[in-house]
């Protein structure tokens, strides 16, 4: 997907002190992902599958349309990222020193206008949170998300 200069995209990355196979599996396996990010999923992330994610704080179904998956290298999917627009998410994995893994998330794209800038601010925060939660879960066995967004919860 080519991005025009008038469009915005998000890119965030983090280093995790685990082998690439463990990091990849923590994202495609819904049981593992529910330990740090979602509350449940209708299935494992597999190429071409349509899934629904639920989040612990919000009463909303989040449809996911899985795109391409290359084991231990790449995951892509589409989701309703903002303003009822289907946005494209890519997650790439690369090995680094001492059997650690660099995880990079890119989300594309929104127009460079007020709506797009608000999306950029909110989802950049969201992807940073996702990566920090993934790292805390894999490196330290901690669920950082638990209780973190109760103040924003629809489930009061």
CA distance 57 to 140: 23
> What are the strands of the beta sheet with 74-82, ordered from one edge?
7-16, 100-111, 85-96, 74-82, 62-70, 50-54, 40-41
Contacts of 134 (CB under 8 A, 6+ apart): 14, 16, 23, 26, 27, 36, 37, 103
pLDDT, average across residues 113-125: 92
pLDDT bracket for residue 116 (50, 70, 90)? very high
Most confident of 92-96, 117-121, 146-150: 92-96
CATH class of 7-143: alpha beta
Backbone angles phi, psi at 46, to 5 degrees: -135, 145
**CA pair distance 110, 119, nearest whole angstrom:** 8
Q: What does the pLDDT look like over 88-111, one tens digit per residue?
A: 999 999 999 999 999 999 999 999
Rounded CA-CA distance 134/32 in Å is 10
Read off the pLDDT band of 147 (50, 70, 90).
low
In the chain, domain spans: 7-143
For the chain, give the number of residues.
Answer: 156
Mean pLDDT across 1-9: 74
């Amino acid at each position: 997907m080519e991005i025009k200069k008038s469009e915005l995209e998000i890119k965030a990355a983090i280093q995790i002190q685990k082998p690439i196979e463990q990091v990849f599996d923590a994202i495609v396996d819904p049981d593992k992902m529910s330990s740090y990010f979602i509350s449940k999923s209708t299935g494992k992330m597999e190429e071409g599958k349509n899934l629904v994610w639920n989040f612990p704080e919000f009463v909303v179904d989040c449809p996911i349309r899985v795109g391409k998956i290359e084991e231990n290298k790449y995951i892509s999917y589409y989701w309703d990222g903002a303003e009822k627009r289907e946005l494209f998410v890519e997650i790439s994995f690369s090995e680094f020193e001492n059997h650690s893994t660099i995880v990079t998330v890119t989300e594309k794209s929104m127009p460079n206008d007020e709506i797009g800038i608000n999306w950029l601010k909110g989802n950049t925060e969201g992807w940073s949170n996702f990566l920090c939660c993934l790292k805390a879960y894999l490196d330290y066995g901690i669920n950082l998300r638990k209780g973190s967004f109760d103040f924003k919860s629809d489930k009061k």
